Structure 1
Amino acid sequence: MNLKDLAQNLGMSQTTVSRALNGYPEVSAQTRERVIAAAAAAGYRPNPVARRLATGRADAIGIIYPLMAADLGDPYFLEVVGGMTEALGKADMDLMIASASQGDEVRTYERMIEGRRIDGMVVARTKLEDPRLQYLMKKRIPFVAYGRSNLPGPYAWFDLDTEAGVRIAVDRLVSLGHRRIALLSGPPELFFVQQGRKGYLGAMADAGLAADPQYRVDGELNSVGGHTRMMRLLACSPRPTAVVVDNQICGVGAIRALLDMGIAIGSEMSIIINDGRPPDPLMGYNVTATESAKPHAIGIKISELMLALLNGESLENLQVLWKPVLKVGNSDGPCIG
């Protein structure tokens, strides 16, 4: 069945039916519901090219990632993308992923937007001062930030409460008798890293413990960087008895370093990872971690926020912060040092 046949069956003009199917506000809710129900009963699906011409929309959402080689093998990233794709697919929209050099991301945004390839953008790994978000806000391009930033006005965002997650981890280690607790972080310009540091310093102060600067290490957001920084912590004198890692990617490298050095995890050294347990192949360790949600659910939620934004929902209603809970495993234990 084509649009002409559907319109004839309904006794309406093709223009009215097309506008109803494409969500034009001038079509009454009663008419829209009638058209949608008839289209579903007849198995009618709009021609995507005609729909795009009628609405001026690309029916696609973009995400530009400063992809590193490790990202393509990162199950966390792939699960988030899977959740986004699932939610957008139900709305007959596509997800377009583009890679960008870390030094010139904004230019990639310009190309994608100027080419009218997308209706909105998802921005990941947000920075305290983020030129990508500033550019999108200036151009009035709909976007959802996966993480927060310092912006002059309201914007749509989804975030995990890293401050609360790191605080929970430190509190747990303090309750186990640890006093020399380290924080292993990602790059300091990222918003979540600063939130994690805030949680760490706050929890240490509340416990009456000094936050020794040598126990705070930050750097690249990858497993190699996590490995390197854990080796630095192991070289400290005195060595910390416990480590909190503020992200899963670096956590994989940190655990690998402990295994490489023959450190007994959970007794000789305790480690807790924020933002979920790493993948399984970690020599049988059930890592203690804080977790807000599975990455697939995160991807679905981000897409739901984007769809609501495109449908005119106010920005103040599109700001979501998910709180973490502690998942106790066998990578932490009472302090013995």
Structure 2
Amino acid sequence: MDLKQLSASLGLSPTTVSRALNGYPEVSERTRERVIEAAKEVGYEPNVTARRLARGAVDAIGIVHPTGAGHLDDPRFLEVVDGLTERFSKAGIDLLIASARQKEEVATYKRLLQGRRVDGFIVHHTRRVDPRLDYLQECGAPFVAYGRTDTPDSYAWFDFDNALGSSLAVRRLQEFGHRRIAYMHAPLELHFAYQRYQGYLDAMHAAGLPVDPGLVVPAGFGRRGGYEAMKTLLDRAEGPTAVIVDNNLCGVGVLRCALDAGLKIGRQLSLIVYDGVPVDSVVTSVQVTSIEQPTSYAVGVQLAELMIGVLAGQPVQELQTLWSPRIAAGSSDGPISEH
């Protein structure tokens, strides 16, 4: 049975039936329920292509992933994708992941929009000043930012209180008696990295602890970067007694280097890592204390909910979500000990 036959059987116009099936608000709830029930009884399946053309939509949301960003192999990112996929699937929306060289990201967004391949975007790893968000706002394209920028008021976003996470880690280490607390970070043009770094600095100053510039080390996102950064710290005449790492892939390298150096983690060196160590890591001898955030799957679901809200025209102020982290204690930190 096609749309015309279904409409005739109900004594309604094809337009009314189509609007009822697609959830248009001008159709009464009683009529909508009647149409949906009739469609179920006769096994009516709408023509998806025609429905998309009528709405001017393709029912797909895009993620543009810059090559070399270093987190496609991060299990947490893949869990976010899983949550997005699950929620979007229930709404009849596909998730499209495209790759782009970092300098060509905006051109990729433009190409996907002009080619009518997506209805909107999830923009992740936002920068403090982000040309991707500027472009999408200028052209009026729907999007949700996974993270904020320095000017977060005019668009939908999901983020964590990153400064709070670093502050909690510093306070915990201070309570254990640590004063020389090192900090390893991702590129600070990324807003989450900048927030976490500022949280570290503010907490150190509030605690009256010195910030040694030599103990603040850029380490990127990779395991190798973490390993090399930790090696640099261990080569110092006066190294740290504790280390905070702002991302989990880097944290794997830091932990591996410390173990290779023969250090007793949690006694000779304390370690706290944002998001902990990935569950698939081969380094399993230490339960790493982490700055823990809600599951990545839940993050993906929340991002999808926000995107659906954007597509439905909800006010931006209702589509800005901030979640808080907490410390998940492990065996990798504790009071200073020489033995």
- TM (norm. structure 2) is 0.94
Q: 1:276 Cα deviation (Å)?
A: 4.3
Q: Does the alignment pair 1:263 with 2:263?
A: yes
Alpha-carbon displacement from aligned partner over 1:36-92 (angstroms, at most 9, x marks no partner): 344345543322111111111010000001133854432111111111000000000
Residue equivalent to 2:175: 175
- Give the aligned residue type for 2:221: L
Contact 1:277 1:291 (C-alpha < 8 Å) held by counterparts: no
Give % identity.
Answer: 51
| 1:9-158 map, 5 Å | 9-40=9-40, 42-68=42-68, 71-151=71-151, 153-158=153-158
- Give the aligned residue type for 2:240: P
Q: 1:101 Cα deviation (Å)?
A: 0.6
Alpha-carbon displacement from aligned partner over 1:262-300 (angstroms, at most 9, x marks no partner): 222111111101134422432322111011211111111
- Cα separation, 2, equivalents of 1:305 and 1:230: 39
- Give the aligned residue type for 1:278: P
- Cα separation, 2, equivalents of 1:245 and 1:194: 13
- Cα separation, 2, equivalents of 1:168 and 1:153: 26
Q: 1:198 Cα deviation (Å)?
A: 1.3
Contact 1:201 1:211 (C-alpha < 8 Å) held by counterparts: yes
Q: 1:35 Cα deviation (Å)?
A: 2.8
Runs of 4 or more, structure 1, over 4 Å off, are 40-43
The alpha-carbon distance between structure 1 residues 69 and 154, as it changes in their structure 2 partners (threshold 3 A), is closer
Alpha-carbon displacement from aligned partner over 1:70-127 (angstroms, at most 9, x marks no partner): 5443211111111100000000000000011112211111111110111110101100
- Cα separation, 2, equivalents of 1:58 and 1:2: 21
Q: Which runs of 5+ in 1 are unaligned?
A: none
Residue equivalent to 2:193: 193
Residue equivalent to 2:298: 297
Alpha-carbon displacement from aligned partner over 1:173-216 (angstroms, at most 9, x marks no partner): 11111111011110010001111111111111121111111111
- Cα separation, 2, equivalents of 1:192 and 1:86: 25
Residue equivalent to 2:325: 324
- Cα separation, 2, equivalents of 1:226 and 1:120: 35
- Cα separation, 2, equivalents of 1:94 and 1:276: 31
- Cα separation, 2, equivalents of 1:28 and 1:224: 60
Secondary structure of the corresponding residue to residue 102 of structure 2: coil
- Cα separation, 1, equivalents of 2:19 and 2:256: 57
Secondary structure of the corresponding residue to residue 221 of structure 1: coil
Q: 1:20 Cα deviation (Å)?
A: 2.0
- Cα separation, 2, equivalents of 1:57 and 1:326: 43
Secondary structure of the corresponding residue to residue 103 of structure 2: coil
- Cα separation, 2, equivalents of 1:33 and 1:84: 29
Contact 2:83 2:296 (C-alpha < 8 Å) held by counterparts: yes
Contact 2:251 2:276 (C-alpha < 8 Å) held by counterparts: no
- Cα separation, 1, equivalents of 2:43 and 2:169: 52
- Cα separation, 1, equivalents of 2:209 and 2:41: 66
Contact 2:62 2:96 (C-alpha < 8 Å) held by counterparts: yes
3-12 or 136-145, larger mean C-alpha shift? 3-12
Contact 1:266 1:331 (C-alpha < 8 Å) held by counterparts: yes
Contact 1:225 1:253 (C-alpha < 8 Å) held by counterparts: yes
- Give the aligned residue type for 2:256: R
Residue equivalent to 1:216: 216
- Give the aligned residue type for 2:298: A
Residue equivalent to 1:283: 284
- Cα separation, 2, equivalents of 1:84 and 1:226: 29
Q: May I ask how many residue pairs the two structures share in their alignment?
A: 337
Q: 1:24 Cα deviation (Å)?
A: 3.0
Residue equivalent to 2:314: 313
Q: Which runs of 5+ in 2 are unaligned?
A: none
Query: RMSD of the TM alignment (CA)?
Result: 1.8
Q: 1:131 Cα deviation (Å)?
A: 0.5
Secondary structure of the corresponding residue to residue 73 of structure 1: coil
- Give the aligned residue type for 1:151: T
- TM (norm. structure 1) is 0.94
